[in-house]
Amino acid sequence: MYLATTGRRDAPPTPSGVRRRVPGTVLALGAVSLVTDVSSEMVTAVLPLYLVLGLGLSPLQFGLLDGLSTGATALVRLLGGAAADRGGRHKQVGGLGYALSACSRLGLLLAGGATGWIATSLAADRLGKGVRTAPRDALITLHSPPEDLGRAFGTHRAMDTTGALLGPLAAFALLWATTDAYDAVFAVSFCVGAFGVLLWLLLVPGRREAPEGTTRPTAPAPRARGGLLTGPRSPAYRRIVLCAALLGAATVGDSFLYLLLQRRLAFEAGWFPLLPLGAAVVYLLLAVPAGRLADRVGRRRPLLYGHGALLLAYGLLLTPLPDTAVLLGVLALLGVFYAATDGVLMALAGPFLTEGRQAGGLALVQTAQALARLGAAVAFGAVWTASGPETALVAAFLALTAALCCAARLLPTAPAEQGPAPAEQGPAPAEQGPAAPAEPVERTD
């Protein structure tokens, strides 16, 4: 059955206009993400500086590494989502991903200046993220009322972004205190990441159990058919996957935008790790309001508006405005972009997923986006190397404009916004059994 028709069976109806509490599982997942993002953003904040200015990599080489770190998650996202759905092992699979990312920091610590080892460590980090993201987001979907998915994802992303805010601060403090000792950043990042794994083990619940005194349906829900790459058969869901890929193919990575800002403003390299803070502050302030707005007005519009904000950031970098205005504007627009798109995309896809395929369905959306961003990073780096940053940015601006026009026509309206969607039909009446009389919709956790 569709998640749009499911929720907590044991929860009494909530009067209209009364705000529900954010589920405890969502808060626990947010705490883990906060700590883990402190670890990961410590590395992310210094990596462009370390690779391009420290090791002397060209923009094309950096684009290949950045794209690899994103695209390496593609198949693993699908495998992780399928493994998590099989038997409801969301906690076990997600914990493996968090542990892999934490251990990748040791690889960076031991790599020295060897580009191959650095690439391997970055790939391991992204593989860990790919393994954990779909099970984590599936847990949010499973433990939240469908009509509040935007707020649940917004709350989680706000806590996640708090870690993204603290990580660059910690990296900046370490580099200042140790006179640009990147090894110290990698070592502390590993310790913080290990603490995040411990929190996952202690705070996140395992398999969901039925509330005491409640009964489960005697007839199982129809099994979703299709292979690993097919996902649910809903045409609307497939349009979401297509739009995620289209928009991802025109999305320039943050690292490139920060390098463009550093190139334009020509500030000292030691200040580079602080650039993500501006975007993180805006993201933190807007993540929950954007989620609530998406629940109220529909999730497709905030998703489109968020990519419109990214388009404005591209354009701002091409204008002759004062450097301070460009710096503040780009960072603010990046924050708006993430607040209006990151969790909202998952909340948009969630109601179209069948029971038992939540992690796999979300993984397919994330994989399409990751592969598209891999291509975007490599293409942007290649054009920058061949023709300069301005030409690359103009090409990205035109590509995102075209992708937005296509997405505006293709993105569907979520079932929660237009009434409950019908369950996926099985291939034969024998699998479904005789049609049952219409009953009031019950909510299950």
Confidence tier at 73 by pLDDT (50, 70, 90): low
What is the per-residue pLDDT for 171?
Answer: 84
Q: What is the per-residue pLDDT across 210-237, written as a single tens digit (0 to 9) for each?
A: 433 333 333 344 444 444 444 456 788 8
Q: Which residue has the higher pLDDT, 340 or 60?
A: 340
What is the per-residue pLDDT for 68?
Answer: 63
Tokens, residue 203: 């705070």
Confidence tier at 72 by pLDDT (50, 70, 90): low
Task: For tokens 């009494």, name the residue.
Answer: 12
Dist CA 319 CA 327 (whole Å): 12
Dist CA 361 CA 105 (whole Å): 29
Which residues face 2 on adjacent strands?
A: 354
DSSP string covering 58-117 = -HHHHHHHHHHHHHTTHHHHHHHHHHHHTTT-HHHHHHHHHHHHHHHHHHHHHHTT-HHH
For Cα atoms 252, 71, 238, give the angle at the middle one, nearest 5 degrees.
85
What is the per-residue pLDDT for 425?
Answer: 43
For Cα atoms 372, 378, 381, give the angle at the middle one, nearest 5 degrees.
135
DSSP string covering 328-358 = HHHHHHHHHHHHHHHHHHHHHHGGGPBTT-H
For the chain, counts of helices (H) and of strands (E): 16, 0
Task: For tokens 């391009």, name the residue.
Answer: 52
Q: In terms of Cα–Cα distance, which of 352, 345, 355 is closest to 445?
A: 355
Task: For tokens 């992310």, name the residue.
Answer: 44
Q: Which residue has the higher pLDDT, 58 or 229?
A: 58
Which residues are CB-contacts of 321 (< 8 A; sequence separation ≥ 6)? 329
Q: In terms of Cα–Cα distance, which of 115, 64, 392, 401 is closest to 257?
A: 392
Q: What is the per-residue pLDDT across 319-362, written as a single tens digit (0 to 9) for each?
A: 988 888 999 999 999 999 998 998 888 888 888 887 777 788 88
